[in-house]
Amino acid sequence: MEANTLTTEMIMVMGMIGIAVFLFIVEWIRVDMVAILMTVSLPLLKLVTPNEAFSGFSSNAVISIIAVIIIGAGLDKTGLINRLVAPILRIAGNSSSRVILAMGGTVAVISSFMQNIGAAALFLPAIRRVSRAMGIPLARMLMPIGFCAILGGTITLVGCSPLILLNDLIAPFNLEPFQLFDVTPIGLALVASGIVFFIIFGRWVLPQGELERDASDKSTEIGEGGDLTAGTAFELATPADFTDFRDPLTIKMIRDTHGITVVALAGRDGIKHFSLDPETVLRSNSTLVAYGSKNDIARLTSEQGMQIKDDLALFKNEMSPSVSGTIEAVVAPRSMLIGKTLRQAHFWEQFQVNPIALFRSNEVFSSGLSDIELYSGDVLVLHGTWERFSILEAQHNFIFTSPVQEIMKPEKALIAGFWLTLALVMVIGFKIQLSVCLLTGAFGMMVCGVLTIDEAYQAVDWRTVFLLAGLIPLGIATEKTGTAAWIAHSILDIVGPVAPVVLLTVIAVLATGFTLVISNVGATVLLVPLVLNMAMASGTDPRMAALVVGLATSNSFMLPTHQVNALYMGPGRYRSVDFMKAGGIMTILFIVVLILMLSLVYGVQG
């Protein structure tokens, strides 16, 4: 087939690529649904065979990422990673620069062997504690450490999905596969450049932020400045004639009118109710627990004729700090609540906790919570029992910014470390296929009781699995039909001969642009066949072109579209402009360091 001959099949493949990119951008359906659409459509259009369409589900990349997620869950279950925090903080001392250096470096190393969103989530509670203890605004710590988590994914070939996918994508071109640590010098240089950048220029590119109040200060009210502590708990009582000659007063009306949240209620029968539906009506001779400022509570009781009790009496045990409390919960990047309101999600009935306030960007909402559509990175202040919070945390819809008591297995820490080490030794010393080594480590953790098989299944992000497996046939179709070669030759015919360094720089910019608007996996699958053909046609090393795509798809700092950025946006009280300011410079620095290291490590010439 001539590379410059446009065929019907090529047009169809480019049409499918256009549909995929369009759906990634507009987000009418989830990204994993887009991948499944490609899996189904391509064999129906005869662009790939059925075996090729489903080959992604048995690919080295997909099995590897499943195993990496399970290994990461095992390390988390034993608390092995959390044990690293205390000695790191002792080394850092009271210097904010050393904290960023120590914690940023540590989260980067951890991120090189587990999903960077998992590493970032593990460090969030520790960063908050350090912020409060050292008097450093959280906004000046989260972004540097979050960027380090993203950069850490470039240290090893299992650090991020694009690099895991890389060998599968270059296999049809009969190119030598990359080994686990082939990218390590480049990844370490990228991490170092990010840390140095924030240490030197952080004071100018990071938002000033505000110091968080200690969580134990329950007298703080929710204010416009973004302080999300819950207020004070007051026990109120309604008189015997409360419902006489008046319109019904609901929980929602109290919240919308006074910014007060009722978290518990007992009627005249003495039966106690928690996780109250917003439409619950207050009756005569009732006792309720309300969270709010002293002034708001005083105004409510004055207007409604309620009585303020001196302290918690009826609900003393249930409101004990050992039984219940308030906590900040970040809507997780893959939460099933995204795009829904609390009412649509049946939040009160399903989760049995009470939302008190919602923080988004620089806005705080303490009323109208039932009808606000949730987005990834939103921060909800919730009140409930610690038991309910433990159940809620296990469902992975929220990431809590403070630790919640759960059943840990610290006695299994050495066993988990052993199986991780064994998997790495198998990869490095015996040259066994990556997926086999990692799955051996994951299986060993399950056999030794680090986590159960059910916990392993629950830990796997099946959306990521289907995204990876579903897009692989699109890459196969792009190469098989000659579409990648046609596009590559067309571009080179327009721009003419270019030096290898120039071509690799253009590829890095292209991959960076793609990953800002579509998923990094989607960008990798679409670009690798294209750049391989461009490199071969121009006389550039095709392995280096593919490697640039695998690395540059982690160059996602300018917008809060990356999962780590979305996770830290709420707790850090960041705005999109904050990411543009610091992330814009970091994006340019990433490309410069990447190309420089390719020249030094792999001898790419200008």
pLDDT-derived band at 406 (thresholds 50, 70, 90) equals low
pLDDT-derived band at 82 (thresholds 50, 70, 90) equals low
pLDDT, tens only, 20-76: 888 888 878 888 899 999 999 999 999 999 999 999 898 888 898 899 889 888 887
pLDDT-derived band at 329 (thresholds 50, 70, 90) equals confident
Tokens of 209: 């932020």
Distances (CA, A) of 391 to 79, 450, 454: 18, 19, 15
Tokens of 519: 């998923």
Among all chains, which residue has been given the structure tokens 């709420």? 570
CA distance 471 to 478: 11
Output the pLDDT for position 407. Answer: 61
pLDDT-derived band at 97 (thresholds 50, 70, 90) equals confident
Q: Which residues, listed in sequence order, are joined to residue 363 by a DSSP beta bridge?
A: 360
pLDDT-derived band at 396 (thresholds 50, 70, 90) equals confident
Output the pLDDT for position 221. Answer: 37
**Mean of pLDDT values over 389-412:** 75
Residue 198 has pLDDT above 80, yes or no: yes
Output the pLDDT for position 356. Answer: 85
Q: Residues of 205-236 as b/e, b for ≥16 C-beta within 10 angstroms?
A: bbbebeebeebeebebbbeeebbbbbbbbbbb
15 or 220: which leads in pLDDT? 15
pLDDT-derived band at 193 (thresholds 50, 70, 90) equals very high
pLDDT, tens only, 471-484: 889 989 998 898 88
Output the pLDDT for position 229. Answer: 47
- Selection from 153, 154, 88 nearest residue 123 by Cα: 88
**Mean of pLDDT values over 336-364:** 84
Output the pLDDT for position 231. Answer: 62
Q: Decide if 61 contacts 168 (C-beta within 8 A).
A: yes
Surface-to-core class of residue 350, CB atoms within 10 Å of its CB (0-12 exposed, 13-18 middle, 19+ buried): middle
In whole numbers, what is the pLDDT of the chain averaged over residues? 84
Output the pLDDT for position 339. Answer: 87
Prediction pTM value? 0.76
CA distance 72 to 356: 33
Residue 291 has pLDDT above 90, yes or no: no
Inter-residue long-range contacts of 215-218, CB under 8 Å, 24+ positions, other chains counted: 215/402
Q: Decide if 537 contacts 498 (C-beta within 8 A).
A: no
Cα torsion for 317, 132, 391, 565, to the nearest 10°?
A: 150
Percent of the chain, pLDDT > 70? 92
pLDDT-derived band at 294 (thresholds 50, 70, 90) equals confident
What contacts 200, CB < 8 A, 6 or more positions away? none
The lowest-confidence range among 12-16, 398-402, 436-440 is: 398-402
- Selection from 59, 156, 105 nearest residue 424 by Cα: 156
**Mean of pLDDT values over 290-319:** 86
Output the pLDDT for position 228. Answer: 43
Tokens of 18: 């256009």
Percent of the chain, pLDDT > 90? 28
pLDDT-derived band at 115 (thresholds 50, 70, 90) equals confident
**Residue 122, CB-side half-sphere exposure with 13 Å CA sphere:** 28
pLDDT-derived band at 227 (thresholds 50, 70, 90) equals very low
The CATH code of domain 216-401 reads: 3.30.70.1450
